[in-house]
Amino acid sequence: MDKLNEASADSVMAKPASDQVRNDGTGVVALDPWLEPYSAALRSRFSKAQNWLKTIDKTEGGIEKFSRGYEKFGFNVSPDNTIVYREWAPFALRAYLIGDFNGWNRDSHEMHRDPYGVWEISLPPNNGQPAIPHDSKVKISLVVPNDQARQERIPAWIKRVTQDLSVSPVYDARFWNPPHKYQFKNQRPPKPQSARIYEAHVGISSPEPKVATYKEFTQNTLPRIRDLGYNTIQLMAIMEHAYYASFGYQINSFFAASSRYGFPDDLKELIDTAHGMGITVLLDVVHSHASKNVLDGLNMFDNSDHLYFHEGARGRHELWDSRLFNYGHHEVLRFLLSNLRFWMEEYEFDGFRFDGVTSMLYTHHGIGTGFSGGYHEYFGPSVDEDGVVYLMLANEMLHNLYPSSITIAEDVSGMPALCIKLSLGGIGFDYRLAMAVPDLYIKWLKEKQDIDWDMGALCFTLTNRRHGEKTIAYAESHDQALVGDKTLLFWLCDAEMYTNMSTLSEFTPVIERGMALHKMIRLITHSLGGEAYLNFEGNEFGHPEWLDFPREGNNNSFHYARRQFNLVEDNLLRYRFLNEFDKGMQWTEEKYGWLHSPQAYISLKHEGDKVIVFERAGLLWIFNFHPSTSFTDYRVGVEAAGTYRVVLNTDDSAFGGLGRIQNETRFFTTDFAWNDRKNFLQVYIPTRTAMVLALEETLDPNWKSQVSLGY
């Protein structure tokens, strides 16, 4: 989880310098001429990516076959039920397969080694049935140098591991071979034009203090996400991790879906059900590092320090206390690329959010480094070219094999061309996360009075993104929900969160301000901040508590490792108003599609009035952040003439507002230029409110009920 300060890379609006397409990795220079001095570095990384593709074509028959490593390595069962197990462990002297199937006999099933250090064993069927029973325990037993010591390891490509905490915290490997394979019923949905992403963690998705299951998420949480209007889910902590409190960021078994939440087929059912609802499902994939666990991880797998990782200090992340992959190694590329293919093929995920991309891009991993946005920071010796090239290969493979797939980069550095395709010299992601946006809100809520909020700085932060590279905007994610930090509503209403969120209590100035700004912050982020939007589960209604997983420091309590969705269902609590507003915001975007529309035109940033006005997707957006002043007949510019009406209004009583803005009001334009727009209209904008206006002819006949109900 990158928690560094994001650099603000200036938006580049230059026109192509040449109509000639460059095919040497410098095509991106036509989009951003400031990259010209770094053409040699662009050529170098592009050339290395092309060389890898050529090598893979020559030695492996192409990347499509190469990335199906899980069909060669690990356990695979042929149609006649013969089991073949292969493992790469070149440092080992001998290898044996052990498990329940042979009474854990360490010598009976010896494996054979090929010239490349790959060990293999074939087990013929017993009376037509697999020699290893389904879901029984297995391990690989290795004889290693250093006095030929014996050690047992969890197979690297294993597809299921389980943990019995009453016996041992170490995982057990399971031979997963169900007699009936799960049959997916629904096709993947089309790639969403506007990705409205709901970031979710299965285990915390229950009001009860426990680890929730895949089945519970399918039954209880998926309908909630669909009804809110989100069309994409980003699932966290799915790849198996030894420590629950790591939030899934210390992976020990890369091909295993976490057994904490249930069986593999339960996860498949979750994804299948989401697809039936038209929802895209992304996996939060961790290829930036790995758990340093030896007994149930990849670390020291064959007793060498450098099997999947760099040797010595380069192979260790000093802040995350984890191991770092050697992205320049043939077998590591096979492992990681195959891992992506596996999740796409076996579970039918629709793409990935890559965690910790900053760590992968730079040899310093972002540790102790502040990014100013200067281009010299993105090239040169501090860049891990192997890491860059791996991400190029991963994105190229995914987008070629799965044209509708989505990839997202969590990068705080502002690396240019991160979201430009490989053919132009880019790294190939679809989106990058706008990590500077939530930092701004938290900083202001900590340090500034409302009257000192800078409208120009707010607009700059929300629109400061690279031309031609898509950005995901968010007001807060899981990072801001973790213990040690506070959610936005907590920052806004901390003093009265537990006393005045009931409709039976006084609507105090603290709660009124908190709810108003919570809605306004989300609306301006959603509309101005990017080409997609993300929310962490529970934050849409201002979840009242932080997130803290059971650990020794809190007596292993689940009290904060849950989402209290029951608060929304209580009509006496004000959380439901925030939930209804979020719902209204998502469904209004579904109708008007501002996220996939060109960037907004901002016509007004008035520091004294604290008013921001802009147009996007044919809508007129008006925000009054002033803490005490309302404005009557406030003149705002608009390009398109006509009659406008309200389609979304933060002050609507259905959203917990004061009802000062009348949704039925019709606003007529005057043919007179204002703020560089051809027309103007006049509106009443109360303090701490925002409204979205649309031309009357775009409204549905029942527009009034849609606004009032929030969908």
Active centre residues (catalytic) = 355, 410
The residue with tokens 């666990």 is 293
620 phi and psi angles, rounded to 5 deg = -110, 120
Which of 610, 579, 514 lies closest to 709, judged by CA? 579
Torsion-angle region of 349 (φ positive above 0: left; ψ -120 to 50: alpha; else: beta): beta
> Alpha-carbon distance 394 to 422, whole Å?
10
One-letter amino acid of 15 = K
Question: What's the burial of 148, exposed, middle or buried (CB within 10 Å: 0-12/13-18/19+)?
Answer: exposed
The answer to whether 290 and 154 have CB atoms below 8 angstroms apart is: no
Which of 500, 653, 502, 658 lies closest to 572, judged by CA? 502
> Alpha-carbon distance 100 to 105, whole Å?
9
> Alpha-carbon distance 123 to 109, whole Å?
9
Q: How many CA atoms lie within 13 A of 560 on its CB side?
A: 18
Number of neighbouring beta carbons within 10 Å of residue 68 = 17
What value does the CA radius of gyration of the chain take, rounded to a whole number of Å?
27
Which of 428, 365, 374 lies closest to 396, judged by CA? 428
Question: What's the burial of 454, exposed, middle or buried (CB within 10 Å: 0-12/13-18/19+)?
Answer: middle
One-letter amino acid of 372 = S
Query: How far, CA to CA in Å, does 318 sit from each of 259, 324, 366?
Result: 29, 10, 11
Tokens of 56: 């893979």
Strands (E), 131-231: 137-143, 150-153, 161-162, 172-174, 195-201
One-letter amino acid of 219 = Q
Alpha helices for 61-90 (secondary structure H): 63-66
Tokens of 615: 């147009």
> Alpha-carbon distance 313 to 316, whole Å?
5
> Alpha-carbon distance 196 to 526, whole Å?
9
The answer to whether 283 and 238 have CB atoms below 8 angstroms apart is: yes
> Alpha-carbon distance 281 to 214, whole Å?
14
Query: How far, CA to CA in Å, does 350 sit from each of 138, 184, 596?
Result: 31, 14, 19
Q: Report the SS3 class of residue 158.
A: coil
The answer to whether 155 and 140 have CB atoms below 8 angstroms apart is: yes
Strands (E), 338-493: 351-354, 406-409, 431-433, 470-473
The residue with tokens 């930092």 is 439
The answer to whether 591 and 601 have CB atoms below 8 angstroms apart is: no
Report which secondary-structure segment, H or E, holds 455.
Answer: helix 455-463
How many H helices and E strands in the chain?
16, 29
